[in-house]
Amino acid sequence: MVFNWGEEKNYLRITNMGANISEAYTRVITEWLPQSGYNRNKAVPNLEVYPPGNASSNNYTWEIWLPVL
């Protein structure tokens, strides 16, 4: 997983390669958020970005945009 800031810096952009979505959310919520000093902004929905390609491939990359405060 790669963590980056979204363009407006109020979203954490997590790029995943081959990880399943449940595993990715679990790691972000239980590992990254508690250590980051940020809180999830529950008033704003998460975004999931699935670009064209073979989603079942281990090399397929997709993103979760998690709103933070």
Structure token pair of residue 10? 């109020």
Determine the Cα–Cα distance for residues 29 and 31; give it in Å rounded to an integer: 6
Tell me if residue 36 falls in helix, strand or coil: helix
Q: What is the pLDDT of residue 52?
A: 93
CATH of domain 2-67: 3.20.80.10
Structure confidence by residue, pLDDT tens digits, 14-67: 888 776 788 888 888 898 899 988 899 999 899 898 899 988 888 888 888 889
Structure confidence by residue, pLDDT tens digits, 1-25: 555 555 566 888 888 877 678 888 8
